[in-house]
Chain A
């Protein structure tokens, strides 16, 4: 067991979208930077999350389009799904991007250490690789970007076979006949959508009274109805009581409206949130405050331990890749002395890639009303949008939430085709603090779905045209 000491300005623990982006920015700023990753560069996002699920859902979208091709005058025979190939392509996409991250880091001059990191006194980081070899890194600053993992249910622990987390759901060997998804957040809804489209009988169990509980209520209702039309069964306000893994499936008892209900499925996907990866880092030896597995940080990711920072999922909700990247850059720029003072937190968009899609930024209508703001709500259905009708995707709507007094765009919610590709428009507007007047003044290209974004703004002031 040899020990080498390497010295760096910055050591980043975790190579996910928070960590590797922070490393690239640090290298741009001429910091001697090391990145420690225990599994795969790109983290969960790139290897087991955002990206591979989008590859799977793209296959599902292709299948859905082919099935509906007849309506557009294209006659096709019944499409066949090669499930193994669908999953393999998704894995290839991840591998390709994983190599891309390695290349970017190399090009930037970031030193990558593959192994687990543990904090030592005096800003040293010990890296232990898979063979037990240890190396010691001396750091000027340390950023913990260790991310989060799936929360486990005590009555239904993950077993890698019948009880899945997102990993098994991403790399299934065969299409299950039936699947119960516990949790109707973004992850649960995306997998439910994927498997149902490919032919699995899917039941979604959600403890909250509605699916996508973090979304605007109108979005939740619309998405649930759309997915129910695709054959998914929803049990909302339903609590999982027991789970029993059997030889050929899983037997579940859930309680809904005080009534016990028996469910049976070939597999179960548990998607009830995430917990922070704060263990094994040696945080106990530091002044870092960890609350329920999450590291408590200030505006720039600074912890209570001088020189130690944390970014991304490990610092709490919303656990989103783009938030982690943004925090990583801000943290590095703060370390480099470029930015200080209080940070203005930019609005963070959130996307759900189920079918139908949804995306949002800012406050829901309910949150805005709770905040005491006097609000104006605009809602525009895609039936009034020419492009949506032309592409046969007229189901959906866009909703805006404005502050009555100031015209501030408090929130925007999109449900329907390409919602996730549209939401950046509102995000940009909110970040640049556009008011309703600026949005009304903006010329949106015709014919596009984005015209509905304009109409939703006009609608908030009683001026929508195509309705």
Chain B
């Protein structure tokens, strides 16, 4: 039933009020006690809640208007049917399509002046920085979090300012035993910690583990490395190539969950975890599935060199749905990894083990198996698709000749 919304009389002396703002827009529904509008009497501004659930039909007074007590501000529907319910005199408000993020339109990111200057000084790409301030404003410490610790020390004063005014001990001190030493994490460590925690907590991980038979890869690699010296090939190059080829064969898994929607990635890009003095970095190889093993190796070599030198740009680390994290050199059978924030899969690669497996006649044969665990984001992938993808990787590794050509 259509009902009026009136200016309330808040106290004996109130004769009129100023409508400060509408908290609900026409066409929106609301719950009981939810704030509908704010009205200001001479004493204070008051948020006025709904008396029951309903829908705001129309507003007849605009913010800023001064109205006497009892004046009509607008109309709402209480959801109760009524024979006498007159049709709304005013047509329902036009549905204005909310402009979504469009290609080519970059939303304005607020940046503090100091953060802007620091970004310029430290060579940080502001587009890659996530702002921690109100309305996502990028602040100085957000920029500094992107800078390797050695460089960040040049700008230590800001931290000291906080240290000087904040004597409260960090929360870690409570968790740690009375003995032991405590140190403040660097900005980079803090950001990495935050992002990993967020990834592990917010991304619904599931895991699939398989073994890949690597005898063929090992033999092919030995042959190729013996035949030429221009490009030394590693097992990881083959794994990267196999993942790239699997992505080309199954583009439907090459996608990530974003706040705006599920983003499909057009190119078979593969991230590669690189251990550096600055911590683990993940540069992304481009178009791996369309490249020969030699081209993959060259791309990987360039990125690793840049990573070790601390010269990766944010563009180098941007994008891709999957990362290969190879721990094979560290004598580990299986590694279950946390998905890199912004991606949907990570492939943890273990060491190659020589194991006996029964053949078709039940006789033991030696196999060279490499354990692989795929961690995947269940929001964009299910177990069937994940396993199919993983099998493609295994297959590419068991018959690696296909990786030689683009």
**Nearest chain A residue, comparing its CB with the CB of B174:** A304
B164 at interface by CB-CB < 8 Å: yes
Docked-complex contact B161 and A344, CB < 8 angstroms:
no
Cβ–Cβ < 8 Å partners of A392 in chain B:
none
Docked-complex contact B115 and A433, CB < 8 angstroms:
yes
Docked-complex contact B156 and A371, CB < 8 angstroms:
yes
Docked-complex contact B171 and A347, CB < 8 angstroms:
no
Chain A: how many interface residues by the 8 Å CB criterion?
42
Of the listed stretches A114-122, A216-224, A295-303, chain B binds A295-303
Docked-complex contact A316 and B157, CB < 8 angstroms:
no
Q: Which of B117, B161, B174, B175 contacts A407 (CB under 8 A)? A: B117
Give a binary string over B347-371; 1 marks a CB under 8 Å from any A CB, 0 the rest: 0000000000000000000000000
Q: Which of A347, A411, A432 contacts B112 (CB under 8 A)? A: A432
Across the A-B interface, the 4 shortest Cβ-Cβ residue pairs: A298-B171, A304-B174, A433-B112, A373-B157
Q: Which of A348, A371, A410, A435 contacts B117 (CB under 8 A)? A: A435
**Nearest chain A residue, comparing its CB with the CB of B133:** A344
With A and B bound together, what is the CA distance between A432 and B138 in angstroms?
Answer: 10
Asked if A408 meets B166 with Cβ closer than 8 Å, knowing A303-B174, A342-B190, A371-B160, the reply is no
Docked-complex contact B168 and A347, CB < 8 angstroms:
no
A-B contact count (CB 8 A): 100
A125 at interface by CB-CB < 8 Å: no
With A and B bound together, what is the CA distance between A344 and B117 in angstroms?
Answer: 19
Docked-complex contact B170 and A362, CB < 8 angstroms:
no
Docked-complex contact A437 and B165, CB < 8 angstroms:
no
Docked-complex contact B121 and A405, CB < 8 angstroms:
yes
- Which of A316, A347, A408, A434: most chain B CB closer than 10 A? A408
With A and B bound together, what is the CA distance between A303 and B169 in angstroms?
Answer: 10
Docked-complex contact A437 and B113, CB < 8 angstroms:
yes
Cβ–Cβ < 8 Å partners of B165 in chain A:
318, 345, 347-348, 362
**Nearest chain A residue, comparing its CB with the CB of B172:** A298
With A and B bound together, what is the CA distance between A403 and B140 in angstroms?
Answer: 13
With A and B bound together, what is the CA distance between A302 and B44 in angstroms?
Answer: 33
B98 at interface by CB-CB < 8 Å: no
Cross-chain pairs A/B with CB under 8 angstroms, 17 sampled: A289-B173, A291-B169, A298-B172, A298-B174, A299-B171, A304-B174, A318-B165, A341-B194, A342-B190, A347-B165, A363-B161, A367-B160, A370-B160, A406-B117, A408-B157, A410-B157, A434-B114
With A and B bound together, what is the CA distance between A179 and B364 in angstroms?
Answer: 98
Cβ–Cβ < 8 Å partners of B112 in chain A:
432-434
B135 at interface by CB-CB < 8 Å: no
A354 at interface by CB-CB < 8 Å: no
CB-contacts of A281-296 with B (<8 A): 287, 289, 291, 296
Docked-complex contact A433 and B157, CB < 8 angstroms:
no
Smallest CB separation, B342 vs chain A (Å): 17
With A and B bound together, what is the CA distance between A344 and B171 in angstroms?
Answer: 14
CB-contacts of B103-124 with A (<8 A): 112-115, 117-118, 121
With A and B bound together, what is the CA distance between A50 and B104 in angstroms?
Answer: 54
Asked if A296 meets B173 with Cβ closer than 8 Å, knowing A342-B194, A406-B118, the reply is yes
Cβ–Cβ < 8 Å partners of B174 in chain A:
287, 289, 296, 298, 303-304
With A and B bound together, what is the CA distance between A318 and B168 in angstroms?
Answer: 10
Asked if A344 meets B139 with Cβ closer than 8 Å, knowing A289-B173, A405-B121, A405-B154, the reply is yes
Q: In the complex, which range does the number of interface residues on chain B fall in?
A: 35 or more
A175 at interface by CB-CB < 8 Å: no
- Given contacts A317-B167, A432-B113, list 9 more A-B pairs with CB under 8 A: A289-B174, A291-B169, A296-B173, A297-B171, A371-B160, A433-B113, A433-B114, A433-B115, A433-B140
CB-contacts of A434-455 with B (<8 A): 434-435, 437-438
With A and B bound together, what is the CA distance between A218 and B333 in angstroms?
Answer: 65
Cβ–Cβ < 8 Å partners of B162 in chain A:
345
Docked-complex contact B155 and A406, CB < 8 angstroms:
yes
Smallest CB separation, B120 vs chain A (Å): 10
With A and B bound together, what is the CA distance between A433 and B115 in angstroms?
Answer: 7
Docked-complex contact A406 and B132, CB < 8 angstroms:
no
- Which of A287, A302, A303, A367: most chain B CB closer than 10 A? A367
A154 at interface by CB-CB < 8 Å: no
B100 at interface by CB-CB < 8 Å: no
Cβ–Cβ < 8 Å partners of B121 in chain A:
405-406
CB-contacts of A159-208 with B (<8 A): none
Cβ–Cβ < 8 Å partners of B157 in chain A:
363, 368, 371-373, 403, 408, 410
- Which of B157, B168, B169: most chain A CB closer than 10 A? B157
B141 at interface by CB-CB < 8 Å: yes
With A and B bound together, what is the CA distance between A172 and B156 in angstroms?
Answer: 48
B101 at interface by CB-CB < 8 Å: no
Q: Which of A318, A341, A344, A435 contacts B113 (CB under 8 A)? A: A435
Cβ–Cβ < 8 Å partners of B172 in chain A:
298
Q: Which of A341, A411, A438 contacts B132 (CB under 8 A)? A: A341
With A and B bound together, what is the CA distance between A406 and B151 in angstroms?
Answer: 14
Docked-complex contact B161 and A347, CB < 8 angstroms:
yes
A315 at interface by CB-CB < 8 Å: yes
With A and B bound together, what is the CA distance between A291 and B162 in angstroms?
Answer: 20
With A and B bound together, what is the CA distance between A271 and B115 in angstroms?
Answer: 41
Q: Which of A344, A370, A373, A438 contacts B141 (CB under 8 A)? A: A344
B158 at interface by CB-CB < 8 Å: yes
